[in-house]
Amino acid sequence: MHSHKSIGIGVASSLAAAVALQVGCAHHPPPQQFTASAPFSRTFTGSGDAVCWSVKRALLSQGYMLDRPNDAGVLTGSKDEQPKPKLNVTTRLQTTCADNRNGTSIVFVTATREENKLQKMKQSTSMGVGPATLTMPSGSAEVLGTVSRQTIKDPAYYEQFFTLVQNFVGQERVSQARDTADDPPTNRTARLHSEPAPLAADPPPARQPAQGAPPPVPNPQ
């Protein structure tokens, strides 16, 4: 009698624990994935052409190879490093810039880091002998395998990139201001007024009377 009662109490306890676990999970939502303060975008003062060109200059200045340099507004750069003899690290940046049509432009960037390491992989050889097939080890070889791939989330990393882009945006602004100062509107107007006026066309020659025709009658005064 006591055994049945203890079994019932154990089942009830298990059910209560399961219900409590479900209730606890219901009160713990998943971590927030989308936030307004993400470090993957920045707004710059300037036209889309100037800002996008600055992004391209920033990537090239740091040794990134552009995978798609001809796509308007989208640039993907990659750079390989070898911090250890058997470790290769590839950093990829994908940037997108767009003109906001209000004197500013926005730049989005996402960076990924991929680590590849030389690893030994065993090789085998299959041999068929009649209806049977034998698999025998034939040694090992070193192959480059991916050991880690992740999106870089460090805000300081993106802050360094945006600071470099801002530097080139400032250079573009100075260059445009210099071009405007070298040829202001007043100089263009003065140059137009200083150019000589076109020469007037010569008057048409006087009409000669036909041969044998009487001379023209003078007009009475």
Domain ranges of the chain: 37-124+137-181
Identify the H or E element spanning 42: strand 41-45
| Angstrom distance (rounded) from CA 129 to CA 179 | 82
Across the strands, what pairs with 204? none
> Quick one: average pLDDT of 24-45?
76
From its phi and psi, is residue 175 left (phi > 0), alpha (psi between -120 and 50) or beta?
Answer: alpha
> Quick one: average pLDDT of 155-165?
96
Give the pLDDT confidence of 3-26 residue by residue, as tens digits. 444 444 454 555 555 545 454 555
Give the pLDDT confidence of 167-192 residue by residue, as tens digits. 999 999 998 888 888 766 656 555 55
Instruction: Please tell me the predicted confidence (pLDDT) of residue 94.
Output: 94
CA distances from 108 to 32, 60, 74, 75, 167 (A): 20, 17, 10, 10, 17
Higher-pLDDT residue of 201 and 5 is: 201
Give the pLDDT confidence of 65-87 residue by residue, as tens digits. 998 766 678 999 999 999 888 89
Given a cut of 90, is residue 91 above it in pLDDT? yes
Residue-wise DSSP of 129-193: ETTEEEEEEEEEEEEEEEEEEEE---HHHHHHHHHHHHHHHHHHHHHHHHHHHHS-HHHHHHHHH
Q: Are 113 and 89 in contact (CB under 8 A)?
A: yes
For 53-114, the three-class secondary structure string (H helix, E strand, C coil) is HHHHHHHHHCCCEECCCCCCCEEEEEEEEEEECCEEEEEEEEEEEEECCCCEEEEEEEEEEE
Q: What whole-number percentage of the chain has pLDDT above 90?
A: 42
pTM for this entry: 0.60
Is the domain defined by 37-124+137-181 classed in CATH 3.40.1010.20? no
